[in-house]
Structure 1
Amino acid sequence: MKPMPEIENSLLQDAPIAWGNYQSRYQHLIDGVVNPEDITQFLLDWSDLETELDQVQAVRTLRAHLDTRDEAAQTAYREFMTDIHPERERVNGALKQKLLSLDLSHLPADAVRLVRRFQADARLFREENIKVQMQLSELEQEYTQINAALKVDFRGEKLGLPQLAPFLLSPDRQDREEAWKASRQTFREAAPVLDDLFLRMLKLRRLLACNAGYASFRDYMWDKYHRFDYNPQDCLNFHQTIETEVVPFALELLEQHRERLGLEVLRPWDAYWYDRVDPPDCAPLQPFKTAAELVARSAEVFSRLNPRLAEMFQLFRDHKAMDLEVRENKLSQAYCTSLPVSKLPFVFQQVVGTAGDVSVFLHESGHAFHDFLSMHSQRFYWNHMSSSEFIEVPSTAMELITLDALDPFFDPQEMERVKGAAIWQMVHNLPHCCFLDAFQHWVYSEAPEDVTIEMLDQKALELLQRFRPVPAWDGFEADRKKLWHFFHVFYVPFYYIEYAFCGLGALQLWKNQQQDPEKTLQQYLEALEAGNSLSVPELYEKCGLNFKFDRQTVHDLMDFVRSQG
Structure 2
Amino acid sequence: MISAKERKYIPAQLDIKWETLEPFYQELSNRPINSVQELEHWLHDRSELEAALEEDFAWRYIRMTCDTASEELLQQFQYFATEIEPKIAPFNNELNKKLIDSEYVKQLDEKKYFIYLRSIKKSLELFREENIPVQTEIQVEQQKYQSITGAMSVTIGDKEFTLEQAAALLKDTDRAKRQEAWEKITARRLQDKQPLNELFDLLMVLRHKVARNADFENFRNYMFQALGRFDYTPQDCYAFHEAIEKEIVPILREQAQKRKEALGLDELKPWDMDVDITGKPALKPFTDGADLVNKSITCFNRISPYLGERLEIMKANGLFDVESRKGKAPGGYNYPLAETGAPFIFMNSANTFRDLTTMVHEGGHAVHTFLTADLELNDFKHCPSEVAELASMSMELISMDNWDVYFENEEELKRAKRDQLIDVLKTLPWVAVVDQFQHWLYTNPDHTDEQRTDAWKQIFERFGAGFIDWSEYPEAEANLWQKQLHIFEVPFYYIEYGMAQLGAIAVWKNYKENPEKGLQQYLDALKLGYTKTIKEIYETAGIKFDFSAGYVKDLAEFVKGELDKI
Report the counterpart of residue 261 of structure 2 in structure 1: 259
Aligned to 1:279: 277
Equivalence map 1:6-25=2 (5 Å) = 17-25=16-24
Gaps of 5+ in 1: 1-8
Contact 1:167 1:179 in 2 (8 A): yes
Verify the 8 A CA contact 1:324 1:348 in the aligned structure 2: yes
Aligned to 2:10: none
- Percent sequence identity over matched residues? 35
Pick from 421, 426, 429: which aligns with 1:428?
A: 426
Q: Is the 8 A contact 1:225 1:388 kept in 2?
A: no
SS at 1:346 equivalent: strand
**1:24-103 matched pairs, under 5 angstroms:** 24-37=23-36, 38-103=38-103
Pairing 1:392–2:389 present: yes
Aligned position for 2:9 = none
Q: 1:400, CA displacement in angstroms? A: 0.8
User: Structure 2 CA distance, aligned partners of 1:358 and 1:427?
Assistant: 18
CA distance in 2, matches of 1:141, 1:283: 37
- Contact 1:335 1:347 (C-alpha < 8 Å) held by counterparts: yes
| AA of the residue aligned to 2:107 | H
1:145 matches 2:147: yes
- Mapped to 2, the partners of 1:500 and 1:531 lie a distance apart of 20
Match of 2:450 in 1: 454
Which stretch shows the higher mean deviation, 533-542 or 303-312?
303-312
Task: Identify which range, 51-60 or 318-327, moves more after superposition.
Answer: 318-327
Displacement of 1:15 after TM fit? 9.1
- Of 316, 319, 343, the match for 1:318: 316
TM-score, reference length from structure 2: 0.94
After superposition, where does 1:532-551 map in structure 2 within 5 Å? 532-551=530-549
1:433-473 CA deviation, whole Å, 9 max, x = no partner? 0000000111112x1x4311100000000001111331110
Superposition deviation, residue 277 in structure 1: 2.2
1:165-223 per-position Cα deviation (integer Å, ceiling 9, x unaligned): 22012222222111100000001111011000000000000000001111110111011
Structure 2 unmatched runs, 5+: 5-12
In the alignment, the residues of structure 2 paired with residue 393 and residue 563 of structure 1 have an alpha-carbon distance, to the nearest angstrom, of 22
Q: Which residue of 1 aligns with 2:8?
A: none
- Find the aligned partners of 2:365 and 2:496 in 1 and give their Cα distance: 14
- 1:505-540, Cα deviation, whole Å (9 max, x unpaired): 000011111100000111111111110111100110
1:237-269: CA deviation from partner (whole Å, max 9, x where unpaired) = 111111111111111111111112121111111
For 2:149 and 2:519, locate their aligned partners in 1 and report how far apart those are by CA, in whole Å.
37
Contact 2:334 / 2:344 at 8 angstroms: preserved in 1? yes
Aligned residues: 548
Do the aligned residues in 2 keep the contact of 1:36 with 1:105 (CA within 8 Å)?
no
Match of 1:5 in 2: none
Given residue 149 of structure 1, which amino acid in structure 2 is its aligned partner? A
Alpha-carbon distance in 1 for matches of 2:446, 2:511: 50
Correspondence list, 1:85-164, <5 A: 85-103=85-103, 104-108=105-109, 109-164=111-166
Q: 1:36: Cα distance to partner? A: 4.1
| 1:471 corresponding residue in structure 2 | 468
> Quick one: which amino acid aligns to residue 456 of structure 2?
A
- Native 8 Å contact 1:374 1:385 kept in 2: no
Q: Letter of the aligned partner of 2:449 in structure 1?
A: I
Match of 2:550 among 532, 549, 552: 552
- Residues 516-525 or 252-261, more deviating: 252-261
Q: Which moved more, 1:385-394 or 1:153-162?
A: 153-162
**SS in structure 2 at match of 1:152:** strand
Letter in 1 for 2:475: A
Residues 375, 385 of structure 1: 8 Å contact kept = no
Mapped to 2, the partners of 1:508 and 1:50 lie a distance apart of 35
Which residue pairs with 1:405 in the alignment?
402
Distance between the aligned counterparts of 2:255 and 2:215, measured in 1? 46
Q: Deviations over 1:351-378 (max 9, x none)?
A: 12111100001000100111111122x1
Q: Secondary structure at the match of 1:402?
A: helix
Amino acid at match of 1:374: T
1:36–1:106: 8 Å Cα contact kept in structure 2? no
* 1:16, distance to aligned residue in structure 2 (A): 5.7
Q: Secondary structure at the match of 1:228?
A: coil
Deviation, structure 1 residue 17: 3.1
Is the partner of 1:213 in helix, strand or coil? coil
Instruction: State how far apart, in whole Å, the 1-side matches of 2:561 and 2:348 are.
Output: 34
The alignment's C-alpha RMSD in Å is: 1.6
Give 2:477's aligned residue: 480
Q: Using the alignment, how far apart are the partners of 2:455 and 2:537 within structure 1?
A: 35
Counterparts of 2:206 and 2:365, CA distance in 1: 30
Q: Deviations over 1:310-366 (max 9, x none)?
A: 122211121121111223201111001111121111100121211110000100010
Moved more, 189-198 or 169-178: 169-178
For the structure 1 residues 25 and 16, does the alpha-carbon distance in structure 2 shift closer, same or farther, using more than 3 Å as the test? closer
CA displacement, residues 104-160 of structure 1 (integer Å, 9 cap, x when unaligned): 122133222011011111111111111001111111121110111111232233311
- Code of the aligned partner of 1:383: F
Distance 1:299 1:153 in 2: 34
279-288 vs 232-241, which deviates more? 279-288
Q: 1:299 aligns with which of 278, 284, 297?
A: 297
Q: Is the 8 A contact 2:320 2:345 kept in 1?
A: yes
In 1, distance between residues paired with 2:278 and 2:419? 16
1:434/1:497 contact within 8 Å kept: yes
Provide the rounded CA distance (Å) in 1 between the counterparts of 2:35 and 2:156: 66
SS in structure 1 at match of 2:155: strand
Distance in 2, matches of 1:91 and 1:288, equals: 49
Contact 1:171 1:282 in 2 (8 A): yes
Q: Is the 8 A contact 2:247 2:549 kept in 1?
A: yes
SS at match of 1:159: strand
Please tell me the residue identity of whatever aligns with 1:45. D
- Report what 2:7 is aligned to: none
Match of 1:519 in 2: 517
Q: Secondary structure at the match of 1:406?
A: helix
Q: Deviations over 1:260-318 (max 9, x none)?
A: 212111111111xxxx4203631221111111101111111011111211122211121
Which stretch shifts more, 453-462 or 384-393? Answer: 384-393
Q: Secondary structure at the match of 1:17?
A: coil
| 3-state SS of paired residue (2:143) | helix
